[in-house]
């Protein structure tokens, strides 16, 4: 689907000037109106934690004279709802964050975002840039981070349960998903406490190791017929639910549990590091193992896009460029663990030599590089990937909460897929 013939009205490319030296930072849900026509102010809308601190955005203001108002939604789901309600209309920020799972959905409306300037092409990893190139050859989004997965674990809780605590020894525990579940089951049996934070994080990890999940590249929907998806569902229900504290992430209870130190391990892309540290600053014992079941997997990573009908498109492009430059990607990684999507940034000594004091001085830069190199599969994600995957996660949640049994919840999902 392409909206080019349907949504031409209102596409305006505004030209802005620069003068002010002020940064206005705030936190809220979704994006505000696109800066209300103030040529010296830009709005930026993200979610979770992109590593864009007030101090970082102040550097952009100092360099350009353009102030930035940062609105941060609590979750990717919240950001998605806001984005698609307002895309091509009014109310989006000058620069919007788009999460990789619903990015293919956004690409259906690529004509509603301003193309990336040609001189920036080639800046990103090939597969990251290819995914952001539309059918007409236009690069339409600025890659932020990627999400090579590792295992975050509580060394103190592992020790109390009689498990090894040294990084290399912990990494050796998890060569396969079966080994991961066995360790988790033994931990729960010994301690009576949950091993991992959520069951649906395992669904994400398993699905991201599949070449085909819910749709094929030719558009054929295989969601309910794909034996790999059925196997993923069975695995999560049968083996992940019994060792998990919660069905999913991003709830108030999940955040509170992280803060209180309830669970012992998490599947952990680099962007999760900042969330853990931010939500559990007083919990000692977190560490990171350079391992992931079955080898490697990418979870998450985002893009920035500039709505084409924004009031300050030219300056918004400058901000998106600056935020995704190799230098700024390194700073964002330092702030929140968001792993750079650019080869130049990934080869920087600032990244290769980075260690995290919070995670027991783990060499998070080197771990991220190793985990990225371990990724051998990039899951195809069609326009409805987010909808199918979110609904399957809800099916697992229903089983976790005792609302439906395993087969009934699967059948409910099958019926939902047919209605999308």
Could you report the per-residue pLDDT of 200-238, keeping only the tens digit for each?
999 999 999 999 999 999 999 999 999 999 999 999 999
Of the chain, the percentage scoring pLDDT greater than 70 comes to: 91
pTM of the model: 0.84
Of 36 and 182, the one with more pLDDT: 182
* Residue 250 DSSP one-character state: S
* C-beta of residue 113 within 8 angstroms of C-beta of residue 93: no
> Token digits for 285?
């014992």
> What is the helix (H) or strand (E) element at residue 280, kind and residue range?
none
Checking if the pLDDT of 395 tops 70, the result is yes
> Token digits for 357?
């004091």
**380: buried, middle or exposed (CB in 10 Å: 19+, 13-18, 0-12)?**
middle
pLDDT tens-place string over residues 278-306:
999 999 999 999 999 999 999 989 999 99
- Report pLDDT for 39: 74
Mean predicted confidence (pLDDT) in 265-274 = 96
* C-beta of residue 397 within 8 angstroms of C-beta of residue 171: no
> Token digits for 31?
């994006």
Three-state SS at 233: helix
> Token digits for 298?
């990418």
> What is the helix (H) or strand (E) element at residue 197, kind and residue range?
strand 196-198
Task: Give the span between the Cα atoms of 149 and 389, in whole angstroms.
Answer: 19
Closest of 285, 283, 244 to residue 158, by C-alpha: 285
Q: How confident is the model at residue 22 (pLDDT cuts 50, 70, 90)?
A: very low
């Amino acid at each position: 689907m392409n909206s080019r013939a349907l949504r031409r009205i209102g596409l305006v490319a505004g030209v802005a000037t620069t003068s002010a030296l002020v940064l206005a930072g705030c936190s809220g849900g979704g994006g505000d109106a696109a800066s209300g026509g103030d040529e010296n102010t830009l709005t930026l809308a993200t979610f979770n934690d992109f590593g864009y601190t007030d101090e970082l955005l102040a550097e952009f203001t100092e360099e350009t004279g353009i102030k930035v108002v940062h609105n941060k939604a609590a979750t990717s789901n919240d950001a998605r709802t806001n984005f698609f309600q307002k895309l091509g209309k009014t109310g989006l920020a000058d620069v919007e964050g788009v999460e990789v799972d619903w990015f293919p959905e956004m690409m259906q409306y690529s004509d509603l975002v301003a193309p990336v300037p040609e001189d920036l092409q080639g800046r990103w990893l090939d597969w990251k840039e290819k995914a952001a190139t539309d059918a007409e050859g236009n690069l339409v989004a600025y890659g932020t981070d990627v999400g090579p997965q590792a295992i975050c674990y509580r060394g103190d809780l592992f020790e109390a349960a009689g498990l090894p605590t040294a990084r290399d020894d912990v990494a050796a525990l998890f060569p396969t998903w079966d080994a991961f579940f066995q360790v988790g089951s033994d931990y729960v049996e010994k301690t009576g406490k949950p091993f991992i934070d959520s069951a649906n994080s395992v669904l994400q990890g398993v699905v991201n190791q599949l070449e085909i999940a819910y749709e094929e590249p030719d558009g054929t929907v295989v969601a309910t017929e794909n034996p790999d998806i059925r196997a993923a569902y069975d695995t999560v229900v049968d083996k992940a639910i019994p060792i998990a504290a919660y069905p999913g992430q991003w709830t108030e209870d999940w955040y509170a549990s992280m803060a209180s130190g309830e669970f012992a391990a998490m599947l952990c892309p680099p962007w999760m590091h900042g969330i853990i540290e931010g939500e559990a600053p007083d919990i000692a014992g977190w560490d990171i193992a350079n391992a992931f079941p079955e080898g490697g997997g990418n979870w998450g990573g985002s893009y920035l896009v500039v709505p084409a009908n924004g009031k300050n498109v030219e300056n918004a492009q400058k901000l998106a460029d600056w935020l995704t430059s190799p230098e700024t990607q390194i700073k964002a990684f330092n702030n929140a663990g968001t792993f750079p999507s650019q080869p130049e940034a990934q080869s920087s000594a600032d990244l290769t030599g980075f260690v995290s004091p919070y995670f027991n001085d783990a060499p998070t830069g080197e771990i991220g590089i190793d985990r990225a190199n371990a990724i051998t599969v990039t899951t195809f994600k069609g326009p409805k990937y987010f909808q199918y995957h979110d609904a399957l996660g809800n099916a697992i949640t229903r089983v976790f909460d005792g609302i439906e049994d395993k087969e009934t919840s699967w059948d409910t999902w099958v019926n939902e897929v047919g209605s999308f």
